[in-house]
Amino acid sequence: MVFSRLSVLAILTAACLSADVPAQQGALVNQYCTGCHNSKAKIGGLALDKADFNNVASQAEMWEKVIKKLRTGAMPPLGMPRPDKAKIDAFATWLETSIDKAAAVKPNPGRPALHRLNRAEYANAIRDLLALDIDPTEFLPADDSSFGFDNVANVLGLSPALQERYVAAASKISRLAVGDPATAPIVTTYRVRSDISQDDHIEGLPLGTRGGVLIHHNFPLDGEYVIKVKMLKSTVDLLFGGNSQDETLEVALNGALVKSIIINPKPKVDPNANVKVAKDGFDPAAATKLSMSQPPDSLEARVFVKAGPQTVTAAFLKKSFGPVEDLLEPLERSTFDPSDPRGLPHVLSVSIGGPFDAKGSGDTPSRRRIFACRPAGAGEEMPCARKIISTLAKRAYREPVNDADMETLLGFYQ
């Protein structure tokens, strides 16, 4: 590329001017600013007489204050000598450009705010670390959000009360993961959404069933548990779908039938009674001999269950309505009108209580994850404890732990 004499002269002139810019701006500051903003007076907390104009970015925080005052016309103050507006704007622009260039070369986003886990992230961490699925809403309150996001560090504060909730949650979850033989019986209730129709098959439940609920429950110990299913009732305490007869409700554990009950069985004639058949097919005089029963509103089963995550289902056997549906369009019903006599029984809730007569902590995915070894004697306890803690710490911190870390962690448990 060939440059003319004029272009070469322009380039050299610009270079000379750019080299003198820091000195020119320094002279401007000494003339109008350092009388007040010097090392002795330090008015406004600024000492501009010691400023390095060849490295503005090294004092970016101070110059940002200067830029703000210059852009708003607050400095120099009224009544004091000041340069014309063009020089003030040129000085502010030079400061901004110098700071921005330095920031582009070495970006410094600053230090991030302390970021704790929100309750969804906490539940995921428990699952990854201990192989234990928990419902965080049972242990922790809802997190604050910013523009719909609840994982922003600025809104995830940690008050003393919330810290106590996390400590209490850790205590309960650790006992559930390890298996505390002294665990007292507790009752956990799972409610079915009231706006869901149970007139047809629900995804996840066994084929050939309708309605009901699918539950994934973690049983803390090997022992007996009471599973109780309550039926939906109307506001006047009448069984929803009580006019339907011979509706079979089944409770299953991991697909194996635990107990079944017939809701509102059809009346049956006592075979030992001397019943006379009239023209209409039935003798009213024998009505007292019929096996009439009130429709039950609950099903209760006591069953032995091994510790760990198990699947509990409660659903109705689905009858075949094929001949009717061939002629009539089926009517979709829900629970919005409990007084509808054509409705079908619905499950209201399932409660699981226990353990009763516990037989031991059992073998669960969380216990296999935690207990990397089991000491055979007193001499193996400390080495085994170190192995258990180091294995958990390595998984929690995503890196091996050193001796200093191990001593700190062991100190918490001694």
**For residue 365, which amino acid is it?**
P
Burial of 296 (0-12, 13-18, 19+ CB in 10 A): middle
Residues whose CB is less than 8 angstroms from the CB of residue 379 and which lie 6 or more positions away in sequence, other chains included = none
**Which residues are paired to 30 by β-bridges?**
none
**For residue 299, which amino acid is it?**
L
Distance CA 14, CA 33 (A): 27
Mean pLDDT value of segment 222-249: 85
Q: What is the pLDDT of residue 31?
A: 81
Name the average pLDDT for the chain. Answer: 81
Residue 129 in contact with residue 397, Cβ under 8 Å? no
Q: What is the pLDDT of residue 322?
A: 53
- What does pTM read for this prediction? 0.63
C-alpha torsion angle, residues 105, 109, 111, 116 (rounded to 10): -140
Residue 361 in contact with residue 379, Cβ under 8 Å? no
Residue 217 in contact with residue 309, Cβ under 8 Å? yes
Q: What is the sign of the dihedral through the CA atoms of 280, 286, 288 and 289? A: negative
Whether pLDDT at 55 is above 90 = no
> DSSP string spanning 344-401?
---EEEEEEEEEEEEEE----HHHHHH-S---SSGGGHHHHHHHHHHHHHHHHHTS--
Residue with tokens 């604050």: 144
Question: Measuring CA to CA, how many Å separate 412 from each of 48, 175, 380, 401, 406?
Answer: 52, 17, 19, 15, 10
Residue with tokens 């320094």: 26
Residues whose CB is less than 8 angstroms from the CB of residue 97 and which lie 6 or more positions away in sequence, other chains included = none
Question: Measuring CA to CA, how many Å separate 27 from each of 30, 49, 67, 189, 319?
Answer: 5, 10, 17, 78, 96
Furthest C-alpha separation in the chain = 132
**For residue 116, which amino acid is it?**
R
Residue 242 in contact with residue 342, Cβ under 8 Å? no
**For residue 351, which amino acid is it?**
S
Residue with tokens 């110098």: 98
Which tens digit of pLDDT belongs to each residue from 254-265? Answer: 999 999 988 877
**CA within 13 Å, CB half, 327:** 3
Residues whose CB is less than 8 angstroms from the CB of residue 266 and which lie 6 or more positions away in sequence, other chains included = 245, 246
Give the percent of the chain with pLDDT over 90: 29
pLDDT band at 330 (very low <50, low <70, confident <90, very high): low
Which tens digit of pLDDT belongs to each residue from 341-385? Answer: 557 888 999 999 999 999 888 899 999 999 989 888 888 888 898
Q: What is the pLDDT of residue 199?
A: 85
Please give the CATH topology (third level) of the domain spanning 186-357: Jelly Rolls (2.60.120)
Helix (H, G, I), strand (E, B) or coil at 414: coil
| Residue extents of the structural domains in the chain | 5-105, 119-178, 186-357, 372-413
